[in-house]
Each structure stands twice: as structure tokens, then as C-alpha cells.
Amino acid sequence: MSKIMPISGFPEWSPANRVVEQYFLDRIRRTFELHGFASLETRAVEPLDTLLSKGETSKEVYLLRRLQADADDPRGASDAQLGLHFDLTVPFARYVVENAGKLQFPFRRYQIQKVWRGERPQEGRYREFYQCDIDIVDRDTLPAHYEAEIPLVIGDVFAGLPLPKATIQVNNRKILEGFYRGLGIADPMETMRIVDKLDRIGPAGVLAELVAGGVTEAQAKACLALAEISTADGSFADEVAKLGVTDPLLEEGLAELLAVVETAAAHSPRLCRAELKIARGLDYYTGTVYETSLAGYERFGSVCSGGRYDNLASSGSDRFPGVGISIGLSRLLGVMFGQGALSASRGVPTCVLVALTADSDRPAAMRTAAALRARGIAVEISPSAAKFGKQIRYAERRGIPFVWFSGPEGESVKDIRSGDQVGADAAAWTPPAEDLNPTVSGPIG
Amino acid sequence: MSKIMPISGFPEWSPANRVVEQYFLDRIRRTFELHGFASLETRAVEPLDTLLSKGETSKEVYLLRRLQADADDPRGASDAQLGLHFDLTVPFARYVVENAGKLQFPFRRYQIQKVWRGERPQEGRYREFYQCDIDIVDRDTLPAHYEAEIPLVIGDVFAGLPLPKATIQVNNRKILEGFYRGLGIADPMETMRIVDKLDRIGPAGVLAELVAGGVTEAQAKACLALAEISTADGSFADEVAKLGVTDPLLEEGLAELLAVVETAAAHSPRLCRAELKIARGLDYYTGTVYETSLAGYERFGSVCSGGRYDNLASSGSDRFPGVGISIGLSRLLGVMFGQGALSASRGVPTCVLVALTADSDRPAAMRTAAALRARGIAVEISPSAAKFGKQIRYAERRGIPFVWFSGPEGESVKDIRSGDQVGADAAAWTPPAEDLNPTVSGPIG
């Protein structure tokens, strides 16, 4: 086996960090289920034309080719048109259209899978990562109350994780588009794309790009004034009004954003902010958009983003408007691991190591292990009847908290951290709850 | 979005079947953890030379290519040498070598991920599927007791799943190789590959192929006689002795197989059989090999296979012998779904639908939902304040068992299957345990 080395952009966690990841996956999934989202997994591949049908990520697609396609299968060439999915929204929209006749609408699903993007290696961005998505799609029309529900689900998710306080920043693209139109700007979509760069290139950079694109300086300054509005309550509407722009789409967007912010404030105070600079890069959003920042980690960008899309899933005259959001789990964990901010109490599930006095004890040790496992306690048996000191070090190196001994005087279990050893019966002994399974600790928000 | 259709070989389960799959994944994982296996996930891609370094599956590899590789990145061509993994053993061996300095040996890990094989579409085989693997690797030497442990773990897994009785068929390649050598056959590996086809081409076919390959008819008949040996206990050794072939490697293999079969018999009667026709196609096995059949489903082949490999992971003078086994979960579920043999009680996690008397009730309904969720009950709120009959049908169509009502006379909850309706308090009411989460039923073994 030659050239054993990491591949840039394809992270592999250590067993201890994998414990943290699995803990996050379990908590996220459980919260999604408590809110009535059904699990879905779609295939990893989509036809290239599906992948290219929306948005600006086409250049990041990985295409597949069968190694032996040319040699043994003239039809293998068709595989060249399959690519790995780069997000879970486009495959979900395809799944909804394909299975519309079998699904119940509104359809609430969660989807937790890896996605792949053929980023340039030198950018240091992940090329394989987990996304955790929820979406609600309906047939023909989608009631606005779902746009207020999505951030509350995400608020529950983050409240259940050992992370700093999460803030969901909400905006509505109708506000941006309507405001730009009301200003007399000819290409509001292009303006949105430039304003979306605000955090990267700053106000002066945005101003310059807007003016270079044919927007007047007065219009550009008004766009920046709109982007500066940030409120924890419904007062953003007053601040927009002060800018003196009127437009029917703007009014519609303001009313929708007000409903989202006020619903959030009523059910989860301090969760959401109206943040009028949020635009989201993807083309397919048509209304509410979300980004999420963690206190103290704002510079790493949004860890959970999404929005409403009215035109992503359609088939002939059938339309399936939806709203959804995606937690970028691998990216979030990569940042937290990089800061040393999350850790697991141990990297193995094992709670008890059964020690061996002699190799001939192995059958008895297997019965002890089975009795403990039957009560939900994770157990390994010592690899060999080495000296007890060596067997204890085996447990220590792995973080296994307890070692089980059998001797002429009966059975006993030792907490190898404290050294306490007590008589014990495999049919009855139970470890302290905090030692039963690995635990995860981090900066609680 | 054009050409919306399934892609052959890439299964996507319905929400209800996905409930079954998730149930299986959870139970398998939990049993692996109870036996002290740590979770690991490796990247989906490996360098092509890693994928091609072992075995005969090279033609089934999917290679990756960045869509824009030629246009924007001269180094993108290197991605052409990345392929999707076709199993979890080869990536695990690579991971062990790459991280040997950081791992504790013996290293016990489980790995549950999708794998991809570029099979010809017309064969009707899956091209994307879940495998659930456990392996134990050690440095330099691996004690034989691990070969007896692996089938006991798998026995626990299958005992916890709603499936027919599982039987693990065990053999040892040293028996086959030693016996063939003892017979005077020059190429035992080629003989093994031909005998491995026994179930597909029958004894006459194997005989013909062996003779065509230069083996005498007497030798070929002895090979077939060996392959016919199948015992539930250690008596296979006597039956082999009757064939009158002696060889040191044969004796070694018989002793190893005896240990596996007798350990299994002592701890899990009826779990294992010595089945001397089992050879496994992959080149990398060097000792014990396993296959698993389900009672009544034998014709669908092995659902869980593996073995011992002494040379898969090595780096310079470091060797990491291992033993492992893999449950082919997607294939198993595909067979069971195809037979209508497994089903979920509902396709949504939701236990309670909170009905709305008026749209203005939504905030109160959200508080009711939050109170129920805080106690682990999955809840959705009705999409709209439609007539109660319509809201109940919404629940019925999804299999949601309970609908929650608020009215002037207080709150109540209705079991829509029985029609029973009782007064209830969201801070205290609990559904019957069997209704809390979806349940899975099948042919218990």
C-alpha cells in the first residue's frame, strides 16, 4: 500500500472526535423528530442536469466515471452524466417531484448526509462534509407560518448542544428586491449578489462594485443604509420606513419578516434578529432567508443557513414551494475542534474491561460480559491474561473507567481513576450514570 | 428539472421503509458499542492505487472527476485518481496504517457507511449500499480468540433484530489450502476460487472447471467431498480425517476452526456451523472466513460476511493483522422489503397532532407542542384551522395516532384509531409506550 496520506478537504476525525460528532448527529436528529420531521436519505448521485439546474455551484460538482466503463460496457458512458450531490436541497426537490404521487403534503422531512464539492484543494475548504437539513414543502401554496417555525426548530437544536449561544439572523429577499426596485435599480438580483459580499469586502467595496455596475452613488448608499439595519424586534420596519422607499414587494417582505421575528420573540426570546444585510448566495431563495452565528465564533460565518424557495421543485403545472434550513455540521465541528472547544470523556464506548487471571478464565469472563451487556453496559474483555498492572493500563490508555476482577474471594470492580474497588455482581452492578456512555463537553451557550 | 426518474442500482426507501432502516442502523450500532467497538468514519474516497491494491473488485470502482477540473485548475487532474470506496475494509486498513502512531492496539472499531460499486446496471445489483462493519486489528500478531468473538457479536446483533434465525457458516482457508496442497494440487488459490462457485454452478460444474484447470478427477472429487462437510459441532474434524489427507496447514486450520465452533457452541448454541464449502471470493482472507444465512432466505445468499486477514494493512516492517465482518444492510433490507417481510407502524416520528380551532390558536398550540416535546413526545401542529374532520384525516393519512384538542371545556386528546377521547394536560399526559415512537415488525427468528 503506497502513498498513505491525508487527502486535503476530506476530514477524518479521531475516535474521540467521532464520539463528539455522533453525539451531535444523535441530538440533531432527535430534535428534528420531536418536531415531526420524517427521515429521508437520497442517493449520493444525481444526473448532472439536475445538479446544474439551479444556482451557481455547478463548477463544484464531482462527476463519476466507471473505471472499466469503456472496456466492458458501451452504456457505461451514461454514468459520466452522474455527479455527487453538493447539497441536500436539490436532491430533495428532485425526490419530491419524483414521488409526489406517494407523499403526503405538506411533507416534513429531515435529511442528514454527507455532500461533496469539488473545491480547489488550496482553499482549505471541505470537499466532503455532513449537512443536516429540514424542509417543509407543500403542493401549490405553502403557508407563511412555516417560515416562522423553522428557526424555532433550529433554536431547539442548538439549545440542546454544548455550544455557545446561537443567534439566527433573518431577512426576506422581497425586502431587498422591493427596496432596490423602489429605488429605481434595474437589476435587483445583481445588486443582491454584491450586497451579499458586505462581510467580505466591506461597505466601501460594496459601494464601489455597485457604482461600477451602473447604480448611482445615492442608490448605492441607500442599499448600504438598508443593509445596516439590525434589530432584535419588529422595529426594523420603522427604520426601513425612515429610508423613504416604497414598493409593494417591499411591504410584503416587511410583513413576512415581522411575522417571523415576532413569532420567534414570543416563543424563544433572543433567538432571532432581523438582519437586513443577509441575502444568501444561492439563486433559488424567494422570501425568508436565514443565517446563524455562534457567540464568539461570528468570524467563522454562518453555521446554519436556508430560506424559502417557491420554484425549486416543479413538474409541468405542479409546483412545490418549500422552506428549509441546513446545519453545516462538519464545518461547525471542524471550527470547534480547531479551537479545542469540544471534547469527549473517552474515545471508546467501553465502560468496563473484564480482566483475566488466566487465559482459561476467558469463558467465565465472556459470561460476565454478557450479563453486563444485557443491562446496557458496554464491555470488553482483556486481550490476554497479562499482569493486572498491564491490563489496567490497557483500560487507562483508552479511558475505560472500570476494570472487573474475578478471584477466589469473588468478583469485584475497580474504578481505576479513584482506585476504589468494591465487591460486585455482574447481574446487578450498575456504573454511575455519567460513566455509562461517553459524554461530550463544550462551551455551553 | 428534466428527466426525473430512478437510477438503477441506487435505491431510495420510502419514509416508512426508512424508519425500518434507521431502526436497524440504531440496533446494529448499539450492539457493536455494547461489545466495545469504537465508531469510525473514513472519507468516501481513496486514491485509486489503494483501491486497486487488493482483491478482484477493481473493475467496480467509480472514479471522480471535477466538472471544471480542466478549465480552472491544472492540478485538478490529480482528482482523477480518486475513487469511491467499494467496501469499508480497504479504507480501514489504510486508516490504521496512516494513524498507527495515534491508535491503541488492539484497535476495535465499527464503521457504518455507504459504499459504491460501478456494477453493470443490467445485473440488478446495488451500486450504492450500506455496509455495517466491525474489525479488530492488532500490531504484529492477533490472538486467535478474536476469530471466535466476531460471530458472537454478530449473533447478538441478529438476535436483536426482527429477522428470521441467522446461522453463521464458518470455515478456515488454511483447511482448504492445506487440504488441496496435501492432495498435491499445484495452485490451491485457483482451486479455492472454483470451489467458491459451488452454489452457483453446482458440483458437476465445479468438477468440470477443476479438471479443465489441470486437476485430476480424483483430486477434484476429494475437493468436492471436503466441500460437502457441514456440522453444527466439532465433528467436522473427524469427517475431514476420513478423507485421508494430511498437511500441517490443514491441521492448523482444523484446530482454529474447532476453537471458533466450540466457543460459539458454548456461548450461543445453534449460532455457528462449520461449513467447509465457504471460501469467500476476496483474496485478502488468510484464515477464518464467515458467511451468514437467514432461515427461509438462504437463496438470497450471505447477509453478513468476513474473515481474518493477516496482510491487508502493512507499512514497511509493521504488520497489522485483523479480523472483521460486514453486514450488507441495504441488500438485506432490499430482500426483506421485496418480500413484504418488514414494516413500520408509521412513516413519521409524530405521535401527536395538535389541532387548531382557529388560526389565532397557533401560539397556544405551539406552547402545547413545546410542553409535550419537553417530555420526549414528537409533535406537529395542524397546517391550518380546517374542519376537525379534515385535521383528523391529516393525522390518519400519516399514521399519527393522537390528535390534541383545545376548547372552552379544556384540553383533550383523542386516539383516532379507537375514537377514545380523554381530558389531558400537556405537562403530564403520556402516550402508551408502544405509540411513543414508530415500531418495526418482521419475522422474529
* pLDDT tens readout for residues B375-424: 999 999 999 999 999 999 999 999 999 999 998 889 999 999 999 999 99
pLDDT mean over B278-297:
90
Q: Do B118 and A11 touch (CB under 8 A)?
A: no
Q: Do B49 and A121 touch (CB under 8 A)?
A: no
Residues B358 and B249 in one domain: no
Which cell is B57 given? Answer: 473488485
Distance from CA of A20 to the nearest CA of B (A): 11
Chain A contact for B84 (CB, 8 A cutoff): yes
Here the CATH number for the domain that contains residue B193 is 3.30.930.10
Per the structure, the complete domain to which residue B304 belongs is given by 143-309
Q: pLDDT tens-digit profile of A345-397? A: 999 999 999 999 999 999 999 999 999 999 999 999 999 999 999 999 999 99
Residues A178 and A293 in one domain: yes
pTM of model > 0.90: yes
Of B309, B343, B368, which closes a domain?
Answer: B309
Q: pLDDT tens-digit profile of A79-131? A: 558 999 999 999 999 999 999 999 999 999 999 999 999 887 655 589 999 99
Residues A158 and A214 in one domain: yes
Any domain includes B245: yes
Which cell is B86 given? Answer: 467499494
Check residue A46 and report its DSSP letter: E
Mean pLDDT of chain B: 92
pLDDT band with cut points at 50, 70 and 90 for residue B57: low
Distance from CA of A147 to the nearest CA of B (A): 12
B1, pLDDT greater than 50: no
Beta bridge partners of A83: A46, A63
B217, pLDDT greater than 90: yes
Mean pLDDT of chain A: 92
Residues A221 and A150 in one domain: yes
pLDDT band with cut points at 50, 70 and 90 for residue B230: very high
Distance from CA of B183 to the nearest CA of A (A): 34
Any domain includes B366: yes
Contacts of A121 (CB under 8 A, 6+ apart): A8, A9, A127, B75
Residues B268 and B400 in one domain: no
Any domain includes B314: no
pLDDT band with cut points at 50, 70 and 90 for residue B80: low
Say which amino acid occupies A443. P
The residue behind cell 415500531 is B439
Any domain includes B129: no
Chain A contact for B82 (CB, 8 A cutoff): yes
Chain A contact for B384 (CB, 8 A cutoff): yes
Q: Do B370 and A69 touch (CB under 8 A)?
A: no
The residue behind cell 466532503 is A128
Any domain includes A52: no
Pairs across A and B, CB distance < 8 A: 257
Of B286, B309, B332, which closes a domain?
Answer: B309
What is the number of other CB atoms lying within 10 angstroms of the CB of residue B251? 16
Chain A contact for B390 (CB, 8 A cutoff): no
Chain B contact for A135 (CB, 8 A cutoff): no
Residue of A nearest to B378 (CA): A34
Chain B contact for A69 (CB, 8 A cutoff): yes
Name every chain B residue with its beta carbon within 8 A of the beta carbon of A102. Answer: 14
pLDDT band with cut points at 50, 70 and 90 for residue A56: low
Work out how many domains chain B is built from and give that number.
Answer: 2
Say which amino acid occupies A185. I
Residues A197 and A295 in one domain: yes
Chain A contact for B357 (CB, 8 A cutoff): no
Q: Do A267 and B44 touch (CB under 8 A)?
A: no
Identify the residue among A34, A102, A384 best suited for mutation to test binding to B, counting B beta carbons within 10 A and taking the highest.
A34
From the list B49, B373, B397, the residue facing A104 with the nearest CB is B397
Any domain includes B45: no
Residues A224 and A285 in one domain: yes
Interface of B with A in 5-24 (CB under 8 A): 5-7, 10-15, 18-19, 21-22
Name every chain A residue with its beta carbon within 8 A of the beta carbon of B9. Answer: none
Q: Do A35 and B67 touch (CB under 8 A)?
A: no
Any domain includes A247: yes
Chain A contact for B75 (CB, 8 A cutoff): yes
Instruction: Give me the pLDDT at residue A283, please.
Output: 73
A1, pLDDT greater than 50: no
Residues B177 and B268 in one domain: yes
Any domain includes A77: no
pLDDT band with cut points at 50, 70 and 90 for residue B3: low
Distance from CA of A66 to the nearest CA of B (A): 5
Q: pLDDT tens-digit profile of A12-45? A: 999 999 999 999 999 999 999 999 999 999 999 9
Residue of B nearest to A19 (CA): B39
Chain A contact for B411 (CB, 8 A cutoff): no
Distance from CA of B93 to the nearest CA of A (A): 9
Here the CATH number for the domain that contains residue A381 is 3.40.50.800
Name every chain A residue with its beta carbon within 8 A of the beta carbon of B44. Answer: 10, 44, 114, 116, 128
A228, pLDDT greater than 50: yes
What is the number of other CB atoms lying within 10 angstroms of the CB of residue B95? 24
The residue behind cell 407543500 is A138
Residues A282 and A380 in one domain: no
**Rounded-to-integer distance, Cα B351 and Cα B349, Å:** 6
Instruction: Give me the pLDDT at residue B59, please.
Output: 62
Of B256, B285, B309, which closes a domain?
Answer: B309
Distance from CA of B350 to the nearest CA of A (A): 5
Helix/strand/coil (H, E, C) string of chain B?
A: CCCCCCCCCCCCCCHHHHHHHHHHHHHHHHHHHHCCCEECCCCCEEEHHHHCCCCCCHHHCEEEEECCHHHHCHHHHHHHHEEECCCCHHHHHHHHHHHCCCCCCCEEEEEEEEEECCCCHHHCCCCEEEEEEEEEECCCCCCCHHHHHHHHHHHHHHHCCCCCCEEEEEEEHHHHHHHHHHHCCCCHHHHHHHHCCHHHHHHHHHHHHHHHCCCCHHHHHHHHHHHCCEECCCCHHHHHHHCCCCCHHHHHHHHHHHHHHHHHHHHCCCCEEEECCCCCCCCCCCCEEEEEEECCCHHHCCCEEEEEECCCCEECCEECCEEEEEECHHHHHHHHHHCCCCEECCCCCCCEEECCCCHHHHHHHHHHHHHHHCCCCCEEECCCCCCHHHHHHHHHHHCCCEEEEEECCEEEEEECCCCCEEECCCCCCCCCHHHHCCCEECCCC
From the list A13, A373, A397, the residue facing B104 with the nearest CB is A397
Chain B contact for A267 (CB, 8 A cutoff): yes
Q: Do B128 and A98 touch (CB under 8 A)?
A: no
Residues A295 and A357 in one domain: no
Residues A203 and A259 in one domain: yes
Residue of A nearest to B362 (CA): A145
Instruction: Give me the pLDDT at residue B178, please.
Output: 97
A51, pLDDT greater than 70: yes
From the list A58, A67, A313, the residue facing B63 with the nearest CB is A67
Name every chain A residue with its beta carbon within 8 A of the beta carbon of B61. Answer: 66-67
A352-354 and A379-381 strand pairing:
parallel
Residues A305 and A168 in one domain: yes
Residue of A nearest to B265 (CA): A363
Q: Do A67 and B314 touch (CB under 8 A)?
A: no
The residue behind cell 429531515 is A110
pLDDT mean over B132-152:
97
Name every chain B residue with its beta carbon within 8 A of the beta carbon of A5. Answer: 98
Q: Do B34 and A378 touch (CB under 8 A)?
A: yes
